[in-house]
Amino acid sequence: MTQEELFKNLISHTKEYGFIFPSSEIYDGLSAVYDYGQMGSELKNNIKRYWWDSMVKLNQNIVGIDSCIFMHPKIWKASGHVDAFNDPLIDNKDSKKRYRADVLLEDYIAKIEAKIDKEVAKGRKKFADNFDEAQFRATNPNVLREQKKVDEVREKMAKALNDNDLAALKQLIVDCEIVDPISGTRNWTDVRQFNLMFSTQLGNISDETGTLYLRPETAQGIFVNFLNVQKSGRMKIPFGIAQIGKAFRNEIVARQFIFRMREFEQMEMQFFVRPGEELEWFSHWKQKRLAWHLAMGLGEGRYRYHDHEKLAHYANAATDIEYNFPFGFKELEGIHSRTDFDLSRHQEFSGRKIQYFDPEQNISYVPYVVETSIGVDRTVLAVLSSAYCLEKLENGEERAVMKFHPALAPVKIAVLPLVKKEELISSAQKILDELKLDFNCQYEEKDTIGKRYRRQDAIGTPYCVTVDFETISDNKVTLRHRDTMEQERVSIAELHAIVEAKVSMKRLLEKI
Ligand code: ATP
């Protein structure tokens, strides 16, 4: 099965089993907006809890807040979002569809790269064991010609984007002879800048001063509360403020399921440090954040750092943690050393002094900031795509199983009476009543036990407990393990401890 087919299957699996639904589906959906169902919201909450605990519980110098989505409009002037939070946009006059100019070019490059990969695959087949890929790429004339095209387009695009030269960007699209995938024509408008913030209006003000923005990131809520938290919490630098919350971006190209949405959630932590110490903290957080990802067990080879060569004017180091999604390596988290840019800008725009008095150095300064910023939904997608397996069983059947880390699994344990008989039901209910105080459980008595196991596999429940007639006399149940499908007889009294040992959030937190 190709990655594309697997991804399609995953999307329908997540819908069928209550993880993710297209928003407003009975009205044909709303593009790039998704709702989390009964399983998806449990999974998402577990991921958020894992992140929150890793920040706030494990670090005595990090505290969490919950600031509002609406903020004073001047904040977005100060942060630079009103003037510079733009994407270059281009319309096709025939299809009336809108595209991101840089994405059209990226797609063009991806097509050429696919051609190169095909050429390499041909070479591998032809030369078999003697194939040396590096040498082939460096000498094959077809590969060299295509690679030259890629390099040229990349370079021109980077220059045009950097110089904010929209005419050059349009010219590049024309020169590459890019056609609209829908109309098939090259009838393009000029490239324009498009601000990604959604705006709305305060009820009691009728003019422009009442314009409010839905926040495009949660970080600004942290910066503007810096003094409040530092003073009320008597925080000493270095310290961090963490927050989880919704963010909104009017993305032009929204695709790849929950990877790029118009309403999404972020988990951000701003770490305030002494000027001059930021690069040390930057590498600290770079390493810590990767460890956080690796602990979930999605696979070491699936992550890579992408250090930014071109930095925003206020940053002095930046890296992305990229994850190998079913559609390739893409940004999952950003780690940025943002100097004193944000706090200084708020100091300037608000007219308030935003500084920290350092008792050890006996001076006041605007702290520097290292931020870690990760999308909840992209993490959910990473977890879902790594967990999803289709397995052929010995009896020829296939099972779909979500191999979540037990601490992240939406349901921890399913309690199942073998058959629908009163004494089994009441024994199972008793077990459920005890376990449900600590764990998210499901109780099911309908269908054969095999079918019930399959349903639990499909939602990733690590344990199933089956109550049978022997249970009544020996106080033991059959415990089935999701991944191995092994079954063992355990006493009811041991159940809680066995489950706890595997599903506790501790199993993740102790690894980082
Ligand atoms: P991209 O380059 O993919 O647009 P970005 O660099 O604009 O992302 P940041 O502004 O650094 O993203 O936001 C931090 C994190 O928020 C990202 O790493 C990503 O996980 C998440 N994120 C950003 N935009 C979206 C979106 N439209 N949908 C879902 N998650 C998002």
Which CATH number fits the domain that encloses residue 377? 3.30.930.10
Distance 375 CA to ligand 1 centre (A): 6
The residue written with tokens 């829908």 in the block is 182
Give, for 113, the enclosing helix (H) or strand (E). Answer: helix 101-127
User: How many whole angstroms separate alpha carbon 227 and alpha carbon 131?
Assistant: 62
What pLDDT, on the 0 to 100 scale, is given for residue 484? 95
Nearest-5° Cα angle at 221, 219 to 225: 120
Residues 413 and 314 in one domain: no
Q: Which residues of the chain have pLDDT under 70?
A: none
486 in a domain, yes or no? yes
Whether 334 lines ligand 1, by a CB cut-off of 6 Å, is: yes
What pLDDT, on the 0 to 100 scale, is given for residue 275? 97
Name the residue with the closest Cα to ligand 1, atom 23: 375
71 in a domain, yes or no? no
Residues 91 and 166 in one domain: yes
132 in a domain, yes or no? yes
What pLDDT, on the 0 to 100 scale, is given for residue 189? 96
Distances from the Cα of 127 to the Cαs of 83, 118, 136, 381, in angstroms? 55, 14, 10, 38
Whether 293 lines ligand 1, by a CB cut-off of 6 Å, is: no
Q: Which of 329, 350, 385 marks a domain boundary?
A: 385
What pLDDT, on the 0 to 100 scale, is given for residue 204? 76
Name the residue with the closest Cα to ligand 1, atom 4: 260
Determine contact, residues 352/364, Cβ cutoff 8 Å.
no
Residues 404 and 476 in one domain: yes
What pLDDT, on the 0 to 100 scale, is given for residue 429? 96
Q: How many CA atoms lie within 13 A of 306 on its CB side?
A: 14
Range of the domain at 106: 86-195
In 3D space, the residue among 434, 447, 417, 453 whose CA is nearest the CA of residue 500 turns out to be: 434
Determine contact, residues 273/369, Cβ cutoff 8 Å.
yes
Name the residue with the closest Cα to ligand 1, atom 16: 375
What pLDDT, on the 0 to 100 scale, is given for residue 309? 77
Residues 49 and 152 in one domain: no
What pLDDT, on the 0 to 100 scale, is given for residue 167? 96
User: How many whole angstroms separate alpha carbon 46 and alpha carbon 410?
Assistant: 8
What pLDDT, on the 0 to 100 scale, is given for residue 503? 97
Residues 264 and 304 in one domain: yes
User: How many whole angstroms separate alpha carbon 139 and alpha carbon 142?
Assistant: 9
Determine contact, residues 365/275, Cβ cutoff 8 Å.
yes
Residues 293 and 424 in one domain: no
Residues 227 and 369 in one domain: yes
Determine contact, residues 198/105, Cβ cutoff 8 Å.
no
